[in-house]
Chains A and B, each alone.
Chain A
């Protein structure tokens, strides 16, 4: 999983039927320091995250698991909202 900040939402009308009703978020991955790192990406939302929140997301096949038994064609899904993180 990786830390990220929610930058925005994506609206799409013409899409795979398995994506209907699912919220799509624009995420900026974060380093442990809280600095942006790497490229922004689009992820599905499984926890009701909103713009400006810090979240963590899962990549790969596991991105579809929160929606079981539905199988949306996703490669990234937000699975938690971060209250805070503490470094050494």
Chain B
């Protein structure tokens, strides 16, 4: 799983049938010191995350499909948790 920040929402009318009703968010992967790393990606939101929140994202098809609650859905990333805090080392 990856720590990401929600940076936007995506609206799509014409999309794969299995994605109907899914909430699509743009998430930016972060390093452990909260710096952006790499390109923002789209993830299904299954936990009700909002813009600006730090979230936990699975980037794997099976897990993302499970989060969406649909079998064989064409998704490869999903937000599966909102992060309250990350503690690293001491």
Q: Classify chain B: how many residues form its interface, as a range.
A: 20 to 34
Cα–Cα distance between A47 and B10 once the two chains are bound (Å): 16
B interface, by DSSP: helix, strand, loop or mixed?
A: mixed
Is A41 an interface residue, CB under 8 A from the partner?
A: no
Q: In chain A, what residue has the closest Cβ to B40?
A: A32
Q: Which of A5-13, A17-25, A77-85 contacts B (4 or more CB under 8 A)?
A: A77-85
When the two chains form their complex, are residues A38 and B74 in contact, meaning their CB atoms are under 8 A apart? no
When the two chains form their complex, are residues A79 and B74 in contact, meaning their CB atoms are under 8 A apart? yes
Q: In chain B, what residue has the closest Cβ to A76?
A: B76
Inter-chain contacts of B43 with A (CB < 8 A): 1
Cα–Cα distance between A86 and B24 once the two chains are bound (Å): 11
Cα–Cα distance between A3 and B10 once the two chains are bound (Å): 10
When the two chains form their complex, are residues A32 and B19 in contact, meaning their CB atoms are under 8 A apart? no
- Most A CB contacts (10 A, CB to CB) among B11, B42, B74 go to B74
When the two chains form their complex, are residues B61 and A2 in contact, meaning their CB atoms are under 8 A apart? no
